[in-house]
Amino acid sequence: MSTTETDAPLTPAAAELRAVLERIMDAHHAKWGDSDEWDALTDFQRAIGAAGWGAPAWPEAIGGKGLGVIDQLACDAEFARVNAPRRVAVFGVNNVGPTMHAVGTPEQQRHLAAIINGDEFWCQGFSEPDAGSDLGGLRCKADVTDDGFVVNGQKVWTSIGLNATHCMLLARTDPDAPKHKGISALLVPMDTPGLTRRAIKQINGEAEFAELFFDNAFVPRTALLGPLHDGWRVTMATLGFERAGVLSVAGTLVGQVKEMMHSQRLADAPPTLRQKALGTYSQARILEWMGQRALAETTDGPGAVSSLIKLFWSHLAAEYAEVNADVVGIDLIAGLAPDATNQLLTSRSATIAGGTTEVMKNLIGERNLGLPREPR
């Protein structure tokens, strides 16, 4: 068990989770060791689902625990404290599920139980080769027929796209409407005929993303999430649900930095490296205060401040990964520190995922400073 220190309070919910995790983690380690294979990750997801902790932020009426943001952060700290496996249902739990709950039909909302139990794993088919930051420019099209939609086009950078069972897909349903107005959101099973997926292999050797190709893939009318042609508003709701997630990942990073500060390796490191590490720690504390301040200002998440926190967090993540690599030292080169190596290789992706650094700066200009919006 890791000794990660966090300042998150041990709320009653977090104390309950701590007891649950002790039991689950013992059984998980006995069965899977430290494996991060898909089967091990989904098994963990099912175990926490069976224990009632699959989606603690969801309202109790739909199987969650109705936790507020402070409780969620305290619970995330518990998952981090025990080095719990990556929660691969995250896109379903944090983004797609809440959107279905908000705008889905009763039939669509039946997916919620499957998400929480770890029976369905959802991905997000939003980005395309020429539509990332400019998501509204997406070209994947869904021709509207009498009984459904025929989808043609490509998606890229789909996290867990290789293994996911379902996809929330954005496609253009009205090619003649202004670009943000002719998009619809569709709920697509990944085994739909005409849908193929191809792995994108990363520098760390893993394939966490897929490209999705749609070739006359048919989905029925019941797949439409929200109103026809109004998928942009549905998407904005989905992206809005990610707001609390910004605080959560920031909290995890703060915990990692603190753990590095307490490590024997750093104590043994040369003074120049210790000074560098102290600089990272100072920034981590600033990030922590930014998060606490954001929470104090709103009850449901960081709101407009989320762009500032995301910007600060993503650059600190890269800096921490580099300092930590120096601290780990020769073991990293010898391949004996897979976590540190993985952090070093993947940390820069934080400056792209969920809105790039430049996009965050644009948002800060518009929302925090009230500057004129950039022309589109």
Ligand X SMILES: Cc1cc2nc3c(=O)[nH]c(=O)nc-3n(C[C@H](O)[C@H](O)[C@H](O)COP(=O)(O)OP(=O)(O)OC[C@H]3O[C@@H](n4cnc5c(N)ncnc54)[C@H](O)[C@@H]3O)c2cc1C
Residues that bind ligand X (CB under 6 A): 123-127, 132-133, 157-159, 349, 352-353, 356-359, 362
**242 close to 354: Cβ distance less than 8 angstroms:** yes
Q: Report, in Å, the least distance between residue 322 CB and ligand X.
A: 18
Question: 120, 208, 211, 242: which is the annotated catalytic residue?
Answer: 242
End-to-end CA distance of the chain: 50
Nearer to ligand X (CB atom), residue 28 or residue 243: 243
Closest CA to 187 of 152, 149, 242: 149
Closer to ligand X by Cβ: residue 200 or 261: 200
> At its nearest, how many Å lie between ligand X and the CB of residue 264?
32
DSSP string of 297-318? H-SS--GGGHHHHHHHHHHHHH
6 or 95, CB closer to ligand X?
95
Nearer to ligand X, 329 or 354 (CB): 354
Report how far residue 119's alpha carbon sits from residue 101's, in angstroms, rounded to the nearest whole number: 17
CA–CA distance, 234 with 183 (Å, rounded to integer):
10
Who contacts 309 (Cβ-Cβ below 8 Å, separation ≥6)?
246, 247, 250, 287, 290, 291, 294, 302
User: To the nearest whole angstrom, how small is the minimum distance from the Cβ of residue 136 to ligand X?
Assistant: 11
DSSP string, 272-301: HHHHHHHHHHHHHHHHHHHHHHHHHH-SS-
Which residue type sits at 244?
A
User: To the nearest whole angstrom, how small is the minimum distance from the Cβ of residue 161 to ligand X?
Assistant: 7
Could you confirm whether 242 is annotated as catalytic? yes
Q: Return d(Cα 312, Cα 320) in angstroms, integer.
A: 12
Return the number of the residue (292 or 356) whose C-beta is nearest ligand X. 356
Minimum distance of ligand X from residue 49's CB (angstroms): 21
Q: Which two tokens stand for residue 172?
A: 């253009």
In the complex with ligand X, which residue's Cβ is closer, 281 or 313? Answer: 313
Between 11 and 124, CB nearer to ligand X: 124
For residue 265, give the 3-state DSSP assignment.
Answer: helix
Question: What is the smallest separation between the CB atom of 199 and ligand X, expressed in angstroms?
Answer: 14
Give buried/exposed letters for 50-87 (b at 16+ CB in 10 A, else e): eeebbbbbbeeebbbbebebbbbbbbbbbbbbbebbeb
Q: What is the DSSP string of 150-167?
A: EEEEEEEEEETTTT-SEE
Give the whole-angstrom CA distance, residue 136 versus residue 183. Answer: 8
284, two tokens: 């981590």
The residue number whose beta carbon is nearest to ligand X equals 132
Q: How far is the CB of 297 from ligand X (least distance, A)?
A: 27
Tell me which residues are annotated as active site: 242
